[in-house]
């Protein structure tokens, strides 16, 4: 989702595991798209991708570690660049608030998939 590969209204193939993930369904997916639009200016300010911004936010969290996957070398190099992004306290708070656009709608069930 952070790559922009899936636009609003995208329908996942039923065999794709995202089709059963609550984040990629209906209103949750649309809210996630709205959140991404609000994150784009912050990423632009730091000259980074949304994925790099997400990793930078995670790296900035106390007592947290970021484990990023990569399918090819360039993706690994791009992920590593996230460590150079310095987010201000105000930006971290703004990103937190934007994330809540989506996360506050979820219930306390830690299982995100509907099998």
Tell me what pLDDT residue 25 has.
87
Beta-carbon count within 10 A of 20 CB: 14
Give whole-number Cα distances, 101 to 37, 68, 88, in Å: 12, 23, 20
Question: Which residues of the chain register pLDDT less than 50?
Answer: none
pLDDT per residue as tens digits for the range 31-51: 999 999 999 999 999 999 999
Angstrom distance (rounded) from CA 40 to CA 16: 26
Distant-in-sequence, close-in-space partners of 60: CB < 8 Å, separation ≥ 6: 87, 92
Residue tagged 């959140």 (tokens): 35
Beta-carbon count within 10 A of 60 CB: 17
Tell me what pLDDT residue 108 has.
78
Query: From the DSSP assignment, how many helices (H) and strands (E) are in the chain?
Result: 4, 0
Tell me what pLDDT residue 4 has.
77
The pTM is what?
0.86
């Amino acid at each position: 989702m952070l790559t922009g590969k899936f636009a609003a209204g995208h329908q996942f193939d039923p065999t794709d595991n995202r089709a059963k993930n609550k984040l990629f369904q209906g209103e949750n997916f649309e809210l996630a798209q709205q959140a991404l639009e609000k994150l784009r200016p912050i990423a632009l300010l730091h000259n980074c991708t949304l994925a790099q911004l997400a990793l930078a936010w995670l790296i900035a969290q106390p007592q947290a570690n970021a484990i990023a996957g990569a399918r090819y070398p360039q993706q690994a190099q791009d992920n590593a660049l996230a460590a150079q992004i310095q987010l201000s306290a105000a930006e971290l708070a703004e990103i937190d608030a934007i994330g809540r656009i989506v996360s506050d709608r979820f219930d306390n069930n830690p299982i995100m998939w509907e099998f």
